[in-house]
Amino acid sequence: MTKFILGLILGLLILPAVVWGYFRFGHPPVAVADRPFPFEKDIVREPLHARIDREMPASAPITATPENLLAGAEVYREQCASCHGLPQRNSPFAAHMYPRAPQLWVWHRVGVIGVNDDPVGETYWKIDNGIRLTGMPSFSKVLNQTQMWQVAVLLKNAGTTLPDGVVKLLNQPLVFNPPGENQ
Ligand code: HEC
């Protein structure tokens, strides 16, 4: 019995010591290019999907009118394109983030461009809440609900023939003005 208790106490001490040692002297991933943690994907992705499935709105309260698509494209250029790119331009740094920011205007396979295969409510949830421990920000304090729906509806319709004005806007390169210029 004493041996068992001694073993138990030792066991209880050794595990935290090993974990502490790993974080202190090991090489846990901290740089973008480091290899992922063991089980990192399972630990992070599964709960995210479960949560989104539970909470995402079933459908969009707005439809893909030319006005909504245009407003969505304006929001997209201002708030999203720097990370997620434009149809003809990749973000310079998206591939050097961990996790990387996916190009949302690239065809993955026939019929699938960016996230148009995700339910519109799932994309809305991601814009609204952001994705923790990634570079994906929460826009709930930056955009209003209509704007978040407009950009979600735009991404849902990325594979359709978009109105000319929307295509033109999305094809214009981004201009980064250093502070102080153009005043
Ligand atoms: C600072 C960079 C950054 C900005 C700005 C940003 N995102 Fe993201 N976004 C990310 C990253 C990084 C991920 C990948 C997260 C992951 O792997 O889970 C992501 C993921 C996503 C996803 C999920 C992609 C997928 O394959 O499931 C969607 C949808 C998305 N972002 C939409 C947007 C929209 C819309 C905006 C603008 C309102 C935006 N993002 C702004 C960095 C950004």
Res. 177 pLDDT band, cuts 50 70 90 = low
- Encoded tokens for 124: 């809305």
Q: Report the separation in Å between the CA atom of 178 and the middle of ligand 1, taken as the mean of its atom positions.
A: 24
DSSP 8-class letter at 94: G
The whole model's pTM is what? 0.89
- Encoded tokens for 133: 């421990």
Q: Report the separation in Å between the CA atom of 161 and the middle of ligand 1, taken as the mean of its atom positions.
A: 23
Residue in 136, 144, 146, 147 to alter for ligand 1 test, most ligand atoms within 8 A of Cβ: 136
Which domains are delineated in the chain? 63-160 (1.10.760.10)
* Cβ contacts of 55 within 8 Å, gap of 6 or more: 125
Mean per-residue pLDDT over the chain, rounded: 92
Task: With a cut of 90, say whether residue 1 has pLDDT above it.
Answer: no
Give the span between the Cα atoms of 118 and 49, in whole angstroms. 12
Give the span between the Cα atoms of 28 and 38, in whole angstroms. 10
Task: With a cut of 90, say whether residue 182 has pLDDT above it.
Answer: no
**What are 130-152's pLDDT values in tens digits?**
999 899 999 999 999 999 999 99
Atom of ligand 1 nearest to the CA of 114: 26
**What are 156-167's pLDDT values in tens digits?**
999 999 999 999
Task: Give pLDDT, residue 176.
Answer: 64
Task: Give pLDDT, residue 36.
Answer: 86
Give the span between the Cα atoms of 114 and 108, in whole angstroms. 7
Helix (H, G, I), strand (E, B) or coil at 22: helix
Alpha-carbon Rg for the chain, nearest whole angstrom, is 22
**What are 37-83's pLDDT values in tens digits?**
888 888 888 899 999 999 999 999 999 999 999 999 999 999 999 99
Quick check: CB of 136 below 6 Å from ligand 1? Answer: yes
**What are 165-176's pLDDT values in tens digits?**
999 999 998 876
Q: Report the separation in Å between the CA atom of 70 and the middle of ligand 1, taken as the mean of its atom positions.
A: 20
